[in-house]
Amino acid sequence: MSHMKGPAIFLAQFISDEAPFNTLRGIAEWAAQKGYKAVQMPTLNPEIFDLERAAEDQSYCENILAVLQDYGLELSELSTHIQGQLVAVHPAYDPLMDQFVPESLRNNGPARTVWATEQLKLAAKASANLGLTAHATFSGALMWPYVYPWPQRSDHLIEDGFAELARRWLPILDTFDHYGVDVCFELHPGEDLFDGTTFERFLAAVDHHPRANILYDPSHMLLQAMDYLGFIDKYHDRIKAFHVKDAEFRPNASQGVYCGYADWTNRAGRFRSLGDGQIDFTQIFSKLTQYDFSGWAVLEWECCLKDSEQGAQEGAEFITRHMITKTSKVFDDFASGEKDPHINRILLGVDDLS
């Protein structure tokens, strides 16, 4: 029987130039002291984790795992959220996205795409070297400027957009398939894959590729006013990773889903520390357990009010409280009757007691 694992923590929001967050040992010890059992690893901080070395050097991977094990930690997944976003960038976002690539690639969209694609392929190989089976990423966005159709979109713009997105991702998906690792797209506004409908359109464009899967993060669904519980019922067979992140959506007379360009503190939709928002995690953990989700429950801490240290401490405790050990028996087995076909026929009134 498969079981969810946790708690784990995504390190992207915590890595910094200051100790203990500037070395692998330092941040591993910190995470373990907070109560975490695994870390989800970003891959753009070579001082913490060198993606290229991990793809080419098995001994380096074994050392990474050994360091984590020293603190009782495992590695849940690698993350290429930034690199995945750079696989497909609309030119309107070029100046913002160029900050994430080596200086030699800036102002060169095609070269940036090639670099990002190679980064994803390195992540596939590195994941296999590390014994991982799932990978967290973003899809990138060519169509996001056209999400609200005014002026009217030109004919087949969206169809052509998904075809191009699929063309860029198919070689990456095939590489992950070669190494036996699932690509888990975090469905996120700002990406072309931001809800169930866009994921379905992409899935059709990549011919239902077996490695095209979902990182389930209910916070992004709540802020879109989606049914995040029904989403699990509909897409559970493609959910292979899980970010435990809370949010609240309180529309008012001035703001709704788009939030009026306000800063995070003053938005109608805000990310919150675990337990401080509106998301029903009791039902989420129940549904994922019902469908035998066997991945990690990973805290992604983002909050516009609470300090990150407090959020991390409370997050480990919150996830631990919500973890479910799935039952191996039916609760009323103690009252079950004799398993006899003849008795069943008597109970149905087909046979008598003679």
Domain count, the chain: 1
pLDDT at 54: 98
From the list 191, 17, 202, the residue with the least C-alpha distance to 97 is 191
What pLDDT is stored for residue 1 in this prediction? Answer: 58
What pTM was computed for the model? 0.95
pLDDT tens-digit readout, 225-276: 999 999 999 999 999 999 999 999 999 999 999 999 999 999 999 999 999 9
Residue 342 to residues 44, 189, 334, 350, 351: CA-CA distances in angstroms? 67, 59, 21, 9, 8
222 near 231, Cβ under 8 Å? no
Whole domain around residue 71: which residue ranges?
5-329
Q: Which residues of the chain have pLDDT under 70?
A: 1, 331-335, 337, 353-354
The answer as to whether 63 is a domain residue is yes
Q: Is 34 among the domain residues?
A: yes
CB 130 within 8 A of CB 68: no
Q: Is 120 among the domain residues?
A: yes
Look up the CATH number of the domain holding residue 238: 3.20.20.150
pLDDT at residue number 349: 87
The two three-digit tokens of residue 151, written as one number: 């002026």
Q: Is 89 part of any domain?
A: yes
pLDDT of residue 40: 99
The Cα 32–Cα 98 span in angstroms is 34
Q: Is 195 helix (H, G, I), strand (E, B) or coil?
A: coil
Q: Is residue 343 part of a domain?
A: no
Report yes or no on 296 lying in a domain.
yes
353 belongs to a structural domain: no
In a domain, 342, yes or no: no
